[in-house]
Chain A
Amino acid sequence: MKELVFKPIAGRTEEIIDAILQTGEVASCTKELYAIHLVCEELVVNVVSYAYPEGVEGYLKIQIEKADGCITLKFIDGGVPFNPLERDMPDVSLPLEERQIGGLGIFLTVQMMDNVSYEHVGNENILTIKKKIDDEK
Chain B
Amino acid sequence: MDNQFVINQEGNTLTIVLGDQLTTGNAPALMEELNGYKGKGIEKVVFDATKLAYIASSGIRTIIFAKQKLGGNPVIEFVNCAADIRSVFEMTGLQNYISFVSK
Residues of A that sit less than 8 Å from B by CB: 13-14, 34, 37-38, 41-42, 45, 92-97, 99, 101-102, 104-105, 107-108, 111-112
Contacts and interface: CB of A to CB of B under 8 A. Distances in A.
A107 B64 CA distance: 16
Given A13-B25, A95-B97, A108-B91, A101 B65 contact: yes
Prevailing SS type, chain B contact patch: helix
18 contacts: A37-B54, A38-B54, A42-B56, A42-B57, A45-B24, A45-B58, A92-B93, A96-B68, A99-B68, A101-B64, A104-B60, A104-B61, A104-B92, A105-B56, A105-B57, A107-B57, A108-B57, A111-B91
Given A108-B91, A108-B92, A111-B91, 20 more contacts: A13-B24, A34-B54, A38-B88, A41-B56, A42-B56, A42-B57, A45-B24, A92-B92, A95-B97, A96-B64, A96-B68, A96-B94, A96-B97, A97-B67, A99-B68, A104-B92, A105-B56, A105-B58, A107-B92, A112-B91
Interface of B: 23-25, 54, 56-58, 60-61, 64-65, 67-68, 73, 76, 84, 88, 91-94, 97
